[in-house]
Amino acid sequence: MVYRSPGELDAPLSPPSLPRPQRVVLTTPQHFDVEYVINPHMADNVGSVDRSAATQQWKALRAAYTALDVSPLVVDGRPGLPDMVFCANQTLPFYDPTTDRRGVVLSRMHAEERAGEVPHYAEFFRTLDYAVETLPDDLEGSFEGMGDALWHPGRFLLWGGHGFRTAPAVYDAISALLDVPILLLELKDPDYYHLDTCLCPLNEDTVLIAPAAFDETGRALIREGFDTVIEAPDGEARHQFACNAHCPDGTHVLIQEGCDGTIERLREHGFVPVELDTGEFLKAGGSVFCLKQMIW
């Protein structure tokens, strides 16, 4: 149930439907900073975060979700964990509509500096009565949650990125654990180190991508999975994280401000862009999508 190319799909995939997650988790930025370099975007930014600007930007993000009727659940950031604010990375939330079971698969962070974030999220999800699952002990390799594993909107189907942060073998384990089909995409360019930096599923039929992040096999698999593929201009995707946008409801797209080419293309396809300044978080290599976690 793990597919790497269109040729491996013997029949068109028809996974069962899955309701959109309705709740959003955000983590407070009071300890956010760039203290080390674990992706190319962080280089030259150590010590450069303006914490009060970051707090204002985070509050505007929270307000944008509230305005869309998605009321945020807030986790407190912890001292010594400057990337904890990127709450998409420590877990993969799941929901099984047939059994009404909610849970998360815990990540295994690639960088030692981020390992300490995961137990705080395990604790948080336990307080929500979520099942907290771990990858098998005898399986090697890291996994960075919804940095790399993205739900296809409206479908019980995952897209799995690998190449920089997540090991491909992890997806065999996740597919078995959740009984879910997974379409694998190899990431080819270090600026696009997580799948959520270059692939943004908007609704069941439409995706926004940064084509340069993938090879031809990956792009073909994406075209197989979505009727409409919107391409972001490479400069906007690479430097302004245009594809690290988030469409919580199939219509509105929360996106870094100034991604003008991308925004125009989104409008042409009937989406309603909501521009936000995430400039302080771009210094760490993240924007809207990785600053939130959607849960059921």
Residues 6 or more apart whose Cβ sits within 8 Å of residue 268: none
Q: How far apart are CA 296 and CA 287, in angstroms?
A: 22
CB of 86 closer than 8 Å to CB of 107: no
Of positions 196, 208, 232, 278, contacts ligand ARG by CB under 6 A = 196
Closer residue to ligand ARG in complex, CB, 153/285: 285
31: annotated active-site residue: no
User: CA-to-CA distance for 190 and 193, rounded, in angstroms?
Assistant: 5
Contacts of 260 (CB under 8 A, 6+ apart): 236
Other Cβ atoms less than 10 A from the Cβ of 196: the count is 31
In the complex, what is the shortest distance from the CB of residue 126 to ligand ARG, in angstroms, rounded to a whole number? 23
Q: Which region among 7-15, 198-206, 263-271, 283-291 touches ligand ARG (by CB under 6 A)?
A: 283-291
Contact 277, 257 (CB under 8 A): yes
Give the span between the Cα atoms of 213 and 197, in whole angstroms.
9
Q: Does 285 bind ligand ARG (CB under 6 A)?
A: yes
3-state secondary structure (DSSP) of residue 165: coil
The neighbour count for residue 65, using CB atoms within 10 Å, is 22
Q: Using the rule CB under 6 A, is 284 a contact of ligand ARG?
A: yes
Task: Based on the shown chain and the rule CB under 6 A, indicate whether residue 39 belongs to the binding site for ligand ARG.
Answer: yes
| Residue 261, SS3 per DSSP | helix
User: By CB under 6 A, is residue 89 in contact with ligand ARG?
Assistant: yes
Q: How far apart are the first and last CA of the chain?
A: 24
Q: Of 153, 203, 286, 293, which one interacts with ligand ARG (CB under 6 A)?
A: 286
Catalytic residue (one of 31, 41, 152, 194): 194
Single residue of 290, 292, 293, 294 touching ligand ARG by CB under 6 A: 290
State which of residues 2, 18, 26, 38 lies at the interface with ligand ARG (CB under 6 A). 38
Stretch that binds ligand ARG, among 82-90, 126-134, 230-238, 261-269 (CB under 6 A): 82-90
Q: Give yes or no: 290 in active site.
A: yes
What binding mask, one character per residue, do residues 102-121 give for ligand ARG by CB under 6 A, x or -? ------------x-------
Residues at the contact surface with ligand ARG, assessed by CB under 6 A = 38-39, 42, 83, 86, 88-89, 114, 147, 194, 196-197, 284-286, 290
What is the set of active-site residues? Answer: 194, 290
